[in-house]
A and B are shown apart, each in its own frame.
Chain A
Amino acid sequence: MSTYDQVEIEDMTFDPDTQIFTYPCPCGDKFQIYIDDLYDGEDIAVCPSCSLMIQVIFEQEDLQEYYEEAGSQPPAPVPVAA
């Protein structure tokens, strides 16, 4: 998948209320991705106003401080049926 840019998570803005990371898009809107989606391994943030996407550079453990800031927990793992 071709992305516009790679962005380190520390360069993104986290809103603890919405639990969304954002980053400016050259169209004037913002790339967005939920913290839980990052935790689940998704790393592509999309812009709601155009076709551009960015790849978020992070490690799963980087997310812990943001969960603490939001006063929330990572999603519980889904049990796999035997």
Chain B
Amino acid sequence: MDVVSLGLAHEEDMIEPQVSFQSDVRPIKICGGGNFTALLLENGLLYVAGEIPFDVDLQQTLPTNQNSWVHVPGQFTDVACGWAHIVVVDQNGIVFTAGAGDKGELGQSKVRKSPKFAPILSTQQNSEKAQVFACFYNTYILSGGILYGCGSNTKCQLQNVKSRAIDTLEIISPCSAIVSACVGKNFVCFVEKSGNIHIRGALSGYKTQIQQQSSGDMSLDLKAMWTSITSLDGQKFSFYGSARLYQNVIAASQFEKPVTAWNTGSEHGIACVDKKAVFCWGWGEHGNCGPIATTKAIDGINDGSNINSNVNLTYDANCHSSDATVYACFGGCATTWICIEYK
């Protein structure tokens, strides 16, 4: 497999963080599909790298000097990636999908391959911007407090009656007061304004446990790996799901300084402490949890030394520049993204 989703001009797995993208404008979201990555800037510009599963007209793209990143024409407010498809919200509140999806995740009825972006929902009528989520073979849209979904329903993540594919958007939330969601492989977790938590699909059995953890004051922040949910309540992490690859080790950790950003990848987690130190844990076979004491990386290339990772210091901004702070981190399929800004 060519590992091209890092947006670097080569195909090596890297165990030491590399500069992949530089801009005067902040990246606000980075998400990964099977073997591609999407990066959204604060000004609405969207870039993709890797094995892009849809057509990008290179004649219309902005020139970039950003390794192998390609600009996607248009202006967007959100983006999400499934295994081989992408979901975007444009500046007018229209949700589009492109790519490939045999399970209906494109939400384009019988269309299974969509090289071009096609609209699937208009959210113009809602004052709050729509959010999109995707994982594996599912697409979800949160707009106006309502959660919509399409794609695979083999674990009843969309409807109570099991089915292989739902290829048009269905409302899956029981009310119109949904404020947040996270999605993994064959499950979706969403939270009402009241704090009431819902889980549909593979991890539905954890609903009660997570609800009990929640103090009901909306402080519980939920994020999903492919086979688990991690929560952060103040400074306390909790974990629910499969932990065969050390995905749960964060639950036994305590940081002395505040967690200022955190996120999850396919089977690993990323947390930034005090805007400076970034720690990773979980499955790090592709170098995505950083080097450990025994690592012998040459030119930063992954030597396979950190496969199932304890909570591991992956990047420390203090070691690079006192002016540097970490403002966000993101995870993809065995990829870790650390967003740094300079004063």
Chain B residues numbered 46-93 whose CB sits less than 8 Å from any CB in chain A = 83
B192 touches A (CB below 8 Å): no
Can you name 9 extra interface pairs (CB under 8 A) apart from A24-B83, A28-B333?
Answer: A11-B154, A24-B34, A26-B266, A27-B266, A27-B285, A28-B35, A28-B334, A49-B3, A50-B286
Residue of A nearest to B335 (CB): A28
Collect the chain B residues with CB atoms within 8 Å of residue A26's CB: 226, 266-267, 283, 333-334
The answer to whether A5 and B1 have CB atoms under 8 Å apart is: no
Chain B residues in 8 Å Cβ range of A49: 1, 3
Q: What is the size category of the interface that chain A forms with chain B?
A: 10 to 19
B334 close to A5 (CB less than 8 A): no
Asked if B123 is an interface residue, CB under 8 A from chain A, the answer is no
Cα-based distance from A22 to B34 in the complex (angstroms): 13
* B-side interface mostly: loop
Q: Mark A23-61, 1 if CB is under 8 A from B, else 0.
A: 010111100000000000000000011111000000000
B227, CB-defined interface residue at 8 Å: yes
Task: Name A50's closest neighbour in chain B (CB-CB).
Answer: B285
Closest 9 pairs (CB-CB, A-B): A26-B266, A28-B333, A49-B1, A28-B35, A29-B1, A26-B267, A27-B334, A50-B285, A28-B34
Interface residues of B in 94-109 (CB under 8 A from A): 102
Question: Which of B102, B227, B266 sits near A13, CB closer than 8 Å?
Answer: B102
Looking at chain A's contact residues, the main secondary structure is loop
State how many angstroms separate the Cβ of A76 from the closest Cβ of chain B: 32
Nearest CB on A from B288, distance (A): 9
- A69 to B: closest C-beta gap in Å: 14
Select which of A24, A28, A50 is within 8 A of B136 by beta carbon.
Answer: A24
Q: B242 at the A/B interface (Cβ < 8 Å)?
A: yes
Which residues of B lie under 8 Å from residue A29 when comparing CB positions?
1, 35
Q: Any chain A CB within 8 A of the CB of B313?
A: no
Q: Does B244 contact A (CB under 8 A)?
A: yes
User: In this complex, what residue of B is CB-closest to A13?
Assistant: B102
Residue among A10, A49, A51 having the largest count of chain B Cβ atoms under 10 Å: A49
Q: Is A73 an interface residue (CB 8 A)?
A: no
> B102, A27: Cβ atoms under 8 Å?
no
Residues of A within 8 A of B236 (CB): none
CA distance A29 to B83 in the complex (A): 10
CA A51 – CA B334 in complex, angstroms? Answer: 13
The complex places the Cα of A10 from the Cα of B165 at a distance, in Å, of: 12
Cα distance A48–B2 in the bound complex, in angstroms: 11
B164 on the interface (CB 8 Å rule)?
Answer: yes
Chain A residues contacting B286 (CB-CB under 8 Å) are 27, 50
Enumerate chain B residues within 8 angstroms of A50, measured Cβ to Cβ: 285-286, 334
Digitize B141-182: 1 where CB-to-A-CB distance is under 8 Å, 0 elsewhere.
000000000001010000000001000000000000000000
Instruction: Point out the residue from B1, B152, B227, B266 that lies within 8 Å of A48, measured CB to CB.
Output: B1
Report whether A4 and B244 are in contact in the complex, using a CB–CB cutoff of 8 Å: yes
- Which partner residue on chain B sits nearest A47 by CB separation? B1
Which chain A residues lie closer than 8 Å to B245 at the CB level? Answer: 4
If the complex has contacts A13-B102, A24-B83, are A51 and B307 also in contact, measured as CB distance less than 8 A?
yes
